[in-house]
Chains A and B, each alone.
Chain A
Amino acid sequence: MNGTTLAQKVIARTGGRDHVSIGEIVEVTPDFSYSHDYAAWAIDAFEKMGATRVHNPDRIAVCFDHGIPPNSSKDANSLKRVRDFVRKHNFARFYEGGTGVAHEVMVEQGWVVPGSLSTANDSHATSGGAVGALALAVGETEIGFLWATGKLWFRVPETRRITLTGAFRKGVYAKDLMLQIARELGVLGALYEIMEYRGDGVKQLSVSERFTLCNMATEVGAKGGVFPFDDVTRSFMQGRAKYPYEPVHSDPDAPYCAEMAFDLSQIQPMVALPGREDSGVPISEIEGKDIQQVFIGSCTNARADDLKIAASILRGKKVHPNIRLLVTPASRQAELQALKDGDLEALVEAGATLMPAGCGVCAGTHQGVLADGERCLSTGNRNMPGRMGNKNAEIYLCSPATAAASAITGQITDPRRALQGTL
C-alpha cells in the first residue's frame, strides 16, 4: 500500500517534506490561523517568549465571538488589548464582535480553503474540514508560539473512512447523523483520527451540513473531520477564497485505520441526553420530556439553512408559555440572509429572543445561564455538566427542527409531527 491520506499530504507539504508517515511528529507552517477572544492568552505567551515580530501576519485573523458585547470592564479591557495587538501587528483581518462565531466566519469569508492546513485555538476549529481543509485545533499558548516562531508541531494522524449512502428522510438532518455517529463511537472513539467522509451520500450534503459533521468531530475525540472537494465545495468557494488553493484528495489505496458506513435514509431524529455527547437516543425514547429553555445557536447549527428549518416550523405558531427560546445566528451573514428571507421575522413573531451573532449562551460564560434543575434543549455541540454555566442544569442536544418543534409544545417533540402538520 503506497497511497497516502489527505492529512499526510497536507502535513508533508506544510512541513516541507516529500512524505510523512502516520504517527510521526512534524513541524509545520500552517497556511492560515485564527483566534478569538482567548487570543489574549496567545498575546501573553508571545510576550513572555520575548517575541517582538509576528510571523506571516497576512495569514492570521481574529474574530471576537465568545463574550460579546463584554459583560464587565475586565472582559472589555481584555478585548481591547487584543484589538490593539492585532492592529499593531497588521493581522490580515480583524472581525469585531457580532460578525459571528470565528469558525463560521473564517469559512464563510474564504480564509479556510480546500487543501489548506488551517488552525485555531479552539476545539471546533475542526469545522474547516467542511471545505476540504485539514483544520486542526491547538491551545492558546501554541497560537502565541506560532505567531512568535512561524511553526507548530502535529502528529500525523490515522484516518477513519466513513461512507455515506442514500439521502435523509424528511425531518432528519446532519445533526441527527452526527449524534448517531457519537453514540456508536463514544466521546473518545475516534481519538487522534481524521474522520474522512466519502460515498454517494456526501453529494447530497451542503457545506453547512458538512460543517455540522466536521464541527462535532471533536466530540468523538477526533483530530479533525474532512469532506472531499467536489462540485458542492467548488461552487461554495466561488468568489470566496482569500488566496489560491489546490484541493487535496486521499489516494484510493491510502491506509485507513477504521471504516464505518451509514445509509442516510435509516437515520432517525436523535437527542443526546444530558451529561455526554455520546448519549444520543432516537427521539421516540425521550419524547414528552418537559424543558424550560430552547437554544437555537452555536457554530454547530445556526446558519441560514438551520434558521430556515426552524422558521418553517415556527411560522404562524407560538412558543409555548413555559419556554424561553433563544436564537443566536452563527454569523451576521446568516442573520442577514434569514432577515431577507423572512425567517427571523417568523421566529421573532413566534416569540423567540434574538441574540447577537456569536457563541451566545453555548459556553455558559455569557447570558442565558440556566437555573438549578432546569432543562435546555440545544442545537449546540456539548452537554457535559456545567457547560451552559450551571452544573445543576441539564442540556439535551438536537437538530434545529427538533428544537423548533419542541419550543412550540414545551416538551421534547419529534419534528416530523410538525412537518406533517400534526402538531
Chain B
Amino acid sequence: MAIAAITGTAATFGDHVSADVILPARHSFLDAEGMAANVLMDLSAEANAKVRKHAIIVAGEAFGYGTGRESPSRALRAAGVRAVVAKSFSRLFFRNAMNNGILVVQCPELVNCGVQDGDGIVLDLQVGSIVWKEKTFQFPPVTDVVAKIMAAGNLINYGRQLLASR
C-alpha cells in the first residue's frame, strides 16, 4: 500500500506545548470548525493562526504531553495539520495523532536546524525522510499496523476497511 508524501509549510513551536494547551477540556465537545477556531488559543491567537495556515508543525521537547484526550489531535487535524515533527512526544499524543491521520515524527536534528515559520518541508513516510531546504533527514519508516492506519488515512478508515474485508 502506497502512502503519499506530505508536503507543506512549517509552523514552529518551542518546548513543552501540552495537549491541554493545544485544546483545553472545555472545548472537547465542539464540532470540527469550533475546534479549529480554538486550537492553541490558550497559547496565543498567533499560534492558532499559524497552524491554520501551515500544515506541518515543527516543535521542541514533549509536544502534546499531559492529557490523553483525543480532542487536541482532532483539533489540529481540523485546523489542517498533516504532520508534527518534534524533539519528543508523549506516547498518547503520538497514538492519538496517528489515529487521526497526523504523521508524528521524532527528529531533533531537524528541529535544531532553525526551521522558520513558512519554510517548505516534505515528509516521506515510506522511505523515512524529511527534506527541508537542501538538507535531508532520516527517521525510521512507519511499519506494521501503524503503516496500514496511515495508508488508510486514519484509524476509522482502517477499521472500516478491516470490517469490510471480514
Number of interface residues of B (CB under 8 A): 40
Q: Is the Cβ of A41 less than 8 Å from the Cβ of B21?
A: no
Number of interface residues of A (CB under 8 A): 48
Residue A88 lies at the interface, judged by CB distance under 8 Å to chain B: no
**CB-defined contacts of A78 to chain B, threshold 8 Å:** 29
Q: Is the Cβ of A45 less than 8 Å from the Cβ of B21?
A: no
Which chain B residue lies CB-closest to A188?
Answer: B62
Q: A50-B163, A141-B156, A389-B26 are in contact. Are A121 and B68 (CB under 8 A)?
A: yes
List residues 52-86 of chain B with CB under 8 A from any CB of chain A. 61-62, 65-70, 73
A218 to B95 Cα, complex, angstroms: 14
List residues 80-99 of chain B with CB under 8 A from any CB of chain A. 88, 90-92, 95-96, 99
Q: Is the Cβ of A363 less than 8 Å from the Cβ of B25?
A: yes
Q: Is the Cβ of B24 less than 8 Å from the Cβ of A141?
A: no
A354 to B70 Cα, complex, angstroms: 30
A145 to B161 Cα, complex, angstroms: 12
A74 to B82 Cα, complex, angstroms: 30
**CB-defined contacts of A4 to chain B, threshold 8 Å:** none
A25 to B91 Cα, complex, angstroms: 14
Q: Is the Cβ of B68 less than 8 Å from the Cβ of A218?
A: yes
Cross-interface CB contact of B65 among A137, A221, A389, cutoff 8 Å? A221
List residues 202-251 of chain A with CB under 8 A from any CB of chain B. 218, 221, 223
Per-residue 0/1 for A45-74: is the Cβ within 8 Å of any B Cβ (1 yes, 0 no)? Answer: 100111100000000000000100000001
Per-residue 0/1 for A140-177: is the Cβ within 8 Å of any B Cβ (1 yes, 0 no)? Answer: 11101100110001000000000000000000000000
Q: A142-B95, A364-B25 are in contact. Are A221 and B155 (CB under 8 A)?
A: no
Residue A384 lies at the interface, judged by CB distance under 8 Å to chain B: yes
Residue A391 lies at the interface, judged by CB distance under 8 Å to chain B: yes
**CB-defined contacts of B160 to chain A, threshold 8 Å:** 48-50
**CB-defined contacts of B29 to chain A, threshold 8 Å:** 40, 74-75, 78
**CB-defined contacts of B20 to chain A, threshold 8 Å:** 382, 384-387
Looking at A74, A138, A144, A384, the one whose CB has the most chain B CB atoms below 10 A away is: A384
**CB-defined contacts of B162 to chain A, threshold 8 Å:** 149
Q: A139-B95, A391-B42 are in contact. Are A386 and B24 (CB under 8 A)?
A: yes
Q: Is the Cβ of A149 less than 8 Å from the Cβ of B65?
A: no
**CB-defined contacts of A125 to chain B, threshold 8 Å:** 68
Which chain A residue lies CB-closest to B27?
Answer: A365
Q: Is the Cβ of A153 less than 8 Å from the Cβ of B146?
A: yes
Residue A116 lies at the interface, judged by CB distance under 8 Å to chain B: no
Residue A191 lies at the interface, judged by CB distance under 8 Å to chain B: yes
CB proximity of B89 to chain A, nearest CB, Å: 8
Q: Is the Cβ of A139 less than 8 Å from the Cβ of B92?
A: yes
Cross-interface CB contact of B92 among A25, A75, A123, A149, cutoff 8 Å? A123
Residue B2 lies at the interface, judged by CB distance under 8 Å to chain A: no
Q: Is the Cβ of A365 less than 8 Å from the Cβ of B28?
A: yes
A279 to B160 Cα, complex, angstroms: 44
Cross-interface CB contact of B24 among A41, A142, A149, A364, cutoff 8 Å? A364
List residues 275-294 of chain A with CB under 8 A from any CB of chain B. 276
**CB-defined contacts of B68 to chain A, threshold 8 Å:** 121-125, 137-139, 218
Residue B33 lies at the interface, judged by CB distance under 8 Å to chain A: no
Which chain A residue lies CB-closest to B160?
Answer: A49
List residues 352-396 of chain A with CB under 8 A from any CB of chain B. 363-365, 382, 384-387, 389, 391
Residue A27 lies at the interface, judged by CB distance under 8 Å to chain B: yes
Residue A38 lies at the interface, judged by CB distance under 8 Å to chain B: yes
Q: A121-B70, A148-B159, A191-B90 are in contact. Are A386 and B42 (CB under 8 A)?
A: yes
A75 to B21 Cα, complex, angstroms: 22
List residues 73-112 of chain A with CB under 8 A from any CB of chain B. 74-75, 78
**CB-defined contacts of A51 to chain B, threshold 8 Å:** 159, 163
**CB-defined contacts of B96 to chain A, threshold 8 Å:** 139, 141
A89 to B90 Cα, complex, angstroms: 33
CB proximity of B40 to chain A, nearest CB, Å: 11
Q: Is the Cβ of A25 less than 8 Å from the Cβ of B145?
A: yes
CB proximity of A80 to chain B, nearest CB, Å: 14
CB proximity of A219 to chain B, nearest CB, Å: 8
**CB-defined contacts of A223 to chain B, threshold 8 Å:** 91
**CB-defined contacts of B24 to chain A, threshold 8 Å:** 364, 386, 389, 391
**CB-defined contacts of A141 to chain B, threshold 8 Å:** 70, 96, 99-100, 154-156
Q: Is the Cβ of A50 less than 8 Å from the Cβ of B164?
A: yes
Cross-interface CB contact of A27 among B25, B42, B73, B145, cutoff 8 Å? B145
Q: What would be 13 A-B contacts, judged by CB atoms less than 8 Å apart? A: A41-B70, A49-B160, A51-B159, A144-B156, A191-B90, A218-B92, A221-B62, A363-B67, A382-B67, A384-B20, A385-B18, A386-B24, A386-B42
A: which residues have CB within 8 A of B? 25, 27, 38, 40-41, 45, 48-51, 66, 74-75, 78, 121-125, 137-142, 144-145, 148-149, 153, 187-188, 191-192, 218, 221, 223, 276, 363-365, 382, 384-387, 389, 391
Question: Knowing that A138-B95, A192-B91, A364-B24 are A-B contacts, what are 6 other residue pairs whose CB atoms are under 8 Å apart, sorted by A's residue number?
Answer: A25-B145, A50-B163, A149-B163, A188-B88, A382-B66, A386-B42
State the 7 A-B residue pairs at the shortest beta-carbon distance, nearest first: A123-B68, A49-B159, A139-B70, A139-B96, A384-B18, A365-B25, A363-B25
